[in-house]
Structures are given as structure tokens and as C-alpha cells.
Amino acid sequence: MLTIDNIAKSLGDFKLGSISFEQKPLQKIAITGESGSGKSTLLKIVAGLLDADEGEVRFEGKRVTGPAYNLVPGHKGISYLSQHFELRNHYRMEELLEYANELSDDEAKDLYELCRIGHLMKRRTDGLSGGEKQRIALAKILVGNPQLLLLDEPFSNLDLPNKTILKQILQDLHQHKKVSCILTSHDPTDTLNWADTMMVMQHGRVIQQGVPTEVYAKPLTEYVAGTQGAYNLLTGDKLTALLPDVKGNLFKKMMIRPEHISLAKTGKGVEAIITDTYFGGHYTIIHLGIGQHSFIAYTLNNTYKKGDTVFATVPPEHLHYL
């Protein structure tokens, strides 16, 4: 459906370089990475809103070109939504949507219900909350009947209830409207349980790509590990403190996710002192001290208290060299 072939772009001191990937119909791709890594620049090139210096984008076999080749930038089958919504003021929502609509009345009505905006049609932009603006902006590009939806940090300005609603809308769009999607996000909780493919960007390059479970469990670098959630970095004395029987190169970096450190009040394992505990909702965050080293663990047991002595064990299959 979509082919990105060696895309490169220079913007001042920043360079987006040599990015290639493919997207199949209905495939959900998430792009993560720190601010300034090139996520938005890449999406705009894919959308035809920005020209690449090198390489090309092909959508359904045809080249996607940018503003240098088109009076009105953008591609008919691709819609891009920024995190800023970009809705005109002083219009009722029904007017904004009518101007962009290419669907039948029944199709449009179904879409508005799917986007949870049927009750907002008579309101103006200044009468909407942030979550409502996001859903209106999403519906506004969907009534153009795109085949590929590009969402640039769609969750960044939303509170948890509105974020939950938007996630459900995206699932419904994928299942019922057959819209393919690429989205960018800083938060792994927004992408790990949604994406079919995860791409991690740093300094304008894709440094790891794979299914979410692989990227989460087997990151190639410490940077990738950090983009997907909390982790313990183990090397040298810190490694042997948690794993006294470990063998191998102690100068290599190894990581373990907090949920893979098992704790018990008795039994085998390395003796540790709980230095702090935090309520994390459906789990408890435990800070451990082993000698002079600190570790973080997650547990479903909420009976642990600061100052308790516990025994920590680590399943070897969850250790991963970076």
C-alpha cells in the first residue's frame, strides 16, 4: 500500500536520513522517539505536505509529491492530522464538516456516531473541549474518505478519559471503516497495545523496527529501551549485585524490565531492602537497595513496606543484552 524508499531531508542542522519501510493495507504502524527525532517531518513527507531531498514515497504504486509539485499540497488518499487540531473559528461544526464531506448522508452520520460527535454539530469551536476538538478534527479529515490516516501525537493534549475514547475510535475505524493508520507518540502505553509494527527514531533515523513485543523485550540500545518504558540497566558491579552467579562480559550492558524482578519475603534469591514504595494503580512500584545499588521492581503485592527485607530473583529468559 505504502512504500518509503530512502527518504532524506535536511532542515537547518537537522537531517532526516535514509528511511525505508513498507506498509500493508490495514497495518497499524506506530513511530516513537524523543522530541526532535524526526517523527513529524517523516509523516509530513508521507502526506505530501513536505518535499523530501532524496528518495521517494509511493502510495498504491504512484509517487507522492510535495508542495514543489502541487499547488495544493497533500495526497487525495492520505490524510494528516497534527496535534494542534487546526479547526477554523466562528463556524458551527456541521458547517466545517459539510464543506469537507465526500460521503453519503448515511455514511457521514455513521462516521459522526463512531467519532462520538453527533451531539456537537450545533456548537462552535470555542464551545468545545480539547477532546471534542480532536474528535471533530479527526472526523473532518475522515469525511474526505482517505485510505491512509497519519496521526501526529494524537494523544498528547488529551486527558485520560478523552484519550481512552480516541483509542476506541481508532480501533473502530480499523475494524469497521478499513482505514490504515500511522501514528506517532512519546508514550508507550499509547502504542504497545495498538500497533502491529513499532518504529523507533533517533536523530532522524529509524534505529529499530519490529513487532511491539520484540521492541519492548529486546531493544537494541538503551535509548530504545527507554522509549518503551521503565527498565533496570545492569553492568559491572550492579549486574553481579542482582545476579551474583552471572557469567560473561561484565562490561556489556544488560537490561531487565521492573515487572520481571520477582520479590518474596522468604526463600531463595538476593537479599534486598525496600527503600521506597509507590502506588501505581494496578501494581506497586518498589525501589530496592542491594548493597550500594538501586533497582526498580513492579509487583501486584501491595503489602510490602519501606524497610522490609525481601528476596529478589530474575528469570534468565527476561535478561537482555543491549
CATH code of the domain containing 146: 3.40.50.300
At 247 the pLDDT is 67
- Co-location of 125 and 241 in the same domain: no
CA–CA dist 102, 260 (Å, integer): 50
Non-local CB neighbours of 309 within 8 Å, separated by 6+ positions: 265, 271, 272, 273, 274
Render the burial of 58-73: b for 16+ CB within 10 Å, e for the rest: ebeeeebebeeeeeeb
CA–CA dist 219, 240 (Å, integer): 21
**Residue 305 has which C-alpha cell?**
513496606
Edge to edge, the sheet with strand 2-11 lists 14-23, 2-11, 54-59, 62-64
Dihedral Cα 220, 221, 224, 228, nearest 10 deg? 80
At 248 the pLDDT is 60
- Co-location of 30 and 151 in the same domain: yes
- CATH number of the CATH domain containing 251: 2.40.50.140
At 95 the pLDDT is 87
* Domain span holding position 237: 232-321
What Å distances lie between residue 78 and 4, 150, 177, 179, 194, CA to CA?
14, 7, 15, 10, 20
Mean pLDDT in each 10-residue stretch from start to end of the chain (322 residues)?
A: 94 90 94 92 94 94 90 86 79 86 88 90 87 89 90 86 88 85 90 93 95 95 94 89 76 89 90 94 93 94 92 90 88
Percentages helix, strand, coil for the chain (3-state, rounded to 5) are 30, 30, 40
Residue in 192, 242, 201, 193 with CA at minimum distance from that of residue 221: 201
- Co-location of 125 and 243 in the same domain: no
How many domains in the chain?
2
Residue in 191, 206, 182, 169 with CA at minimum distance from that of residue 80: 182
- Co-location of 99 and 213 in the same domain: yes
At 289 the pLDDT is 95
At 100 the pLDDT is 83
